[in-house]
Structure 1
């Protein structure tokens, strides 16, 4: 019978080295010296009686046995992580850190009220908000950097649980002194030939809109772009054009800008709480998740 003569740190060293492909990078990630990392790997290989990693002058790669062992170790570490999370349920509900990724419009207009409600119940829990693009929010949740996210992307990802909480229509945003500002609605085809401002092509909003109106014969063309909604609003406010943006980004009492419904077709985005299916939320994260759900669905 194989005598287990290695520690958790040895397994973590192997996983880090295999994933980084470099002893130097893995050592930096684990905050240990490179010789200490090498000793851990050598100890593990000696105990197992098999070489797990092939060292070359440029890169470190797993052997065939190493690749098989890597999958088993990852699964074991995940089980151990979940066990530790469950064991610390009472403590983590009173203290700890919850990381939420959210698209900027939701981080600005939806999250603050929900976090304020949460803070009154759990004053010692810290909350970190990562406000990024829809693609970055999805990546943050999938990588485990964030406990969960608020996004309109992720419904097609098998590993993501997509809990829809509200549908939000896109609106035409323009200055109040524009000749269309008093209209009840505007058809998409009317935007053809108008000077339009938009978020960049890397934005999830841009992709969603273009897919929704791809069938139209006459579509709006973009004269000005900005990476973020805040920049788009500034350009519209300066009188450079109109923009199609999520309805929540323009407050009804804004002094210079207004938002008008767009029709033919009606285009919505579905905001959802997203989380990894294979990773249960820790108690504090679960409590904030439920608070946001209740706040945003009006229950």
Structure 2
């Protein structure tokens, strides 16, 4: 049987106010419309609920029995509706942003943790994906902004450069080069190396930086991800060249040593769509990220790259 919520609402309003006129005002109805709703529910129930005289409105025995249950039912319906509406608003506020996996694994968690303490109401989806997919996510609107490698080819997006990050040579703690303060490309040209696929933006930047020296290095292995490359390094099979921040993703503790005599860097920054403002919550997070990266990114890398700051095993 269909429940006549409008009729119940009319009945409860009349009973609570003691007047058709006041009940009609509460529900923003005409008295004729209110009377129609009451008459309809009485017909459905097969019993009169109210007795209306020239001076007052009183409840019939059927009305007295129905009133507390009608109030409970309407209250439960209102609570359910409000909860659903609150959930819908929270979901509408939820946003997504994209970030390089190397940054998402090391630099970002402390920033997000501090934000959660200050703004526990902010909810988001973090897309830790490669450069090409970050750009796609931002252009399509799936992500409000992206923390990525920035370059001139992204001119259709709004770009804010934030920090430069060095590429380093990654190796095991027991490797002969691990104790060096720096290395040259000549130091490693005879050693087995593992590199990332040519589809990787990091690989493309390194190929450009190496120039002709690229073909002199002993690229014995090629893999699809930095994590796999570091696993091969951990096994003692090879060395690899990765962004300094990748050390936070290492499956086991490794050592990273900077290069000298060659400039191996990537520029990190934020990209977003031109002419499209980001949401308020996304703007709060973005401000935190930009401030922390501008002020503390070099110090963060210095700590994470120091072997003494990482457990040995």
Compute the TM-score of the two structures, normalised by the length of structure 1. Answer: 0.64
Superposition map of 1:94-105 within 5 A? 96-105=93-102
Greater mean deviation of Cα atoms: 166-175 or 182-191:
182-191
The C-alpha deviation readout for 1:98-134, integer Å capped at 9, x for no partner, is 2111111011112211112222232122111111111
Following superposition, the deviation at residue 226 of structure 1 comes to 2.1
Greater fraction helix = 2
Following superposition, the deviation at residue 221 of structure 1 comes to 3.2
Greater mean deviation of Cα atoms: 164-173 or 208-217:
208-217
Output the CA distance in 1 between the equivalents of 2:231 and 2:276. Answer: 40
Output the CA distance in 1 between the equivalents of 2:264 and 2:280. Answer: 36
1:146 aligns with 2:143: yes
8 Å CA contact 1:96–1:124 kept in 2: the answer is no
Aligned to 1:66: none
1:135 aligns with 2:132: yes
8 Å CA contact 1:93–1:284 kept in 2: the answer is no
8 Å CA contact 2:158–2:272 kept in 1: the answer is yes
Moved over 6 A (4+): 91-95
Aligned to 2:280: 283
Output the CA distance in 2 between the equivalents of 1:128 and 1:166. Answer: 24
1:165 aligns with 2:169: no
Aligned to 1:38: none
Aligned to 2:162, the other structure's residue is in SS state: strand
Output the CA distance in 2 between the equivalents of 1:217 and 1:289. Answer: 37
Q: Decide which of 180, 191, 207 is 2:177's aligned counterpart.
A: 180
Output the CA distance in 2 between the equivalents of 1:100 and 1:261. Answer: 31
Which structure has the greater CA radius of gyration? 2
C-alpha RMSD of the superposition: 2.6
Output the CA distance in 2 between the equivalents of 1:295 and 1:96. Answer: 24
Distance change >3 Å, CA 217–CA 227, structure 1 → 2? closer
The C-alpha deviation readout for 1:246-274, integer Å capped at 9, x for no partner, is 111225x9974101111221211111111
Q: Decide which of 215, 220, 226 is 2:217's aligned counterpart.
A: 220
Aligned to 1:205, the other structure's residue is in SS state: helix
Distance change >3 Å, CA 272–CA 140, structure 1 → 2? same
8 Å CA contact 2:97–2:146 kept in 1: the answer is yes
In structure 1, list runs of 5 or more residues that go unmatched: 1-90
Aligned to 1:189: 186
> What is the total number of aligned residue pairs between the two structures?
209
Aligned to 1:156, the other structure's residue is in SS state: helix
Aligned to 1:274, the other structure's residue is in SS state: strand
Aligned to 1:205: 202
Output the CA distance in 2 between the equivalents of 1:242 and 1:205. Answer: 16
Output the CA distance in 1 between the equivalents of 2:291 and 2:91. Answer: 20
